[in-house]
Amino acid sequence: MGSLDFGVANELALVEARIRESIVTEEPLLHDIARYVIESGGKRIRPMVTLLAFRALGGKDVRQAVDLAAAFELIHSATLIHDDINDGGEMRRGRLAAYKKFGLQNALVTGDFLFVKAFGIGGRFDDDIVEITANVCAALAEGEIRQNRHAHDTDVTRSEYLDIIERKTALPMSAGARVAGLLANARLEHIEAVGDYGINLGMAFQIVDDILDVVGDASRLGKPPGTDVREGNVTLVTIHALNDGSAIDVRALARLVRKHRKQDADVRRVLSLLRDSGAIEKARLDAQAYGQLAKKALDPIADSDAKASMIRLVEYVLTRDT
């Protein structure tokens, strides 16, 4: 599983080519920033889900699936630019965030440019697909506003947190799978099945991301651990620790979480409390539960190599260390 292609390496290469083709512009700086963001890597889980769902549902002409996978990845790249600006994040995948390297205004414009390019691709499809894509963008914006509202908020609930990550991470994965089903002319039951798979895979993915921010290796993550802590994002790990962390000083944790300007020592202390609280283990169980739901969602789909790869992808998401 090291290559992360899961049988769709050729199609992913086409997605990469389509993305690069779409960011060509007469303005060199705009192209440089867009390329910098695109080339920063990432696991390409979203296009992988789209391509595997298309195959699993019997899709034949992969070109349209490639186009839509590229469009969703452009949207994702645009949101990363804007998220880093909103959160004050300085590193992204081992490199300076775009706004730190190229300036705030240039990065903002590039994010807008990537959104426009995504809709330039997606807007050519049927109304149902355009509506799904637009709804995903709206959900991303809503999720970002809600996350900012609950920054440093020790009273944020589990359900509020889950709503945020559903909008920001899970719905885009689900949408990519659903549009693949529409392109494959699949039965509604099967479109809903891959959509449910995407939702639950996305939830598991984000919870694992939150865990890695506490226990991950900086050299593997491409950013220092504690990024969420420093930026004030209250994740499921922190929620578990605040509500169930009987082995730690919960009041001390709450005071530090509420602190808006954290020193390095504060971040280290929060990470230590989170690791000692038992919250990591609880969050892993949550991720595993979503992983099982993702697998179960595929029951109506006929067995195939693509379906088997979708199941293996769940295992990768649950056990990854980057």
- Confidence class for position 285, pLDDT limits 50, 70, 90: very high
The alpha carbon of 21 is separated from its chain's Cα centroid by a whole number of angstroms, namely: 23
pLDDT value at position 94?
76
Q: Any idea of the CA torsion for 243, 232, 269, 226, to the nearest 10 degrees?
A: 110
Provide the mean pLDDT of the chain: 95
Q: What is the DSSP letter of 169?
A: I
Query: Mean pLDDT, to the nearest integer, of 93-122?
Result: 94
pLDDT value at position 262?
96
- Confidence class for position 221, pLDDT limits 50, 70, 90: confident
pTM score, whole prediction: 0.94
Q: Write out pLDDT tens, residues 76-95.
A: 999 999 989 988 888 887 78
**SS3 of residue 112 by DSSP:** helix
Query: Mean pLDDT, to the nearest integer, of 50-65?
Result: 97
Task: Indicate if the pLDDT at residue 10 is higher than 90.
Answer: yes
Task: Indicate if the pLDDT at residue 4 is higher than 70.
Answer: no
Tokens of 91: 């590193």
Strand partners, 91: 96
- Confidence class for position 296, pLDDT limits 50, 70, 90: very high
Q: Alpha-carbon torsion 267, 268, 273, 275, what sign?
A: positive
**In contact, 148 and 86? CB cutoff 8 Å:** yes
In order of their start, the domains of the chain are: 9-319 (1.10.600.10)
Query: Mean pLDDT, to the nearest integer, of 65-81?
Result: 96
- Confidence class for position 218, pLDDT limits 50, 70, 90: confident
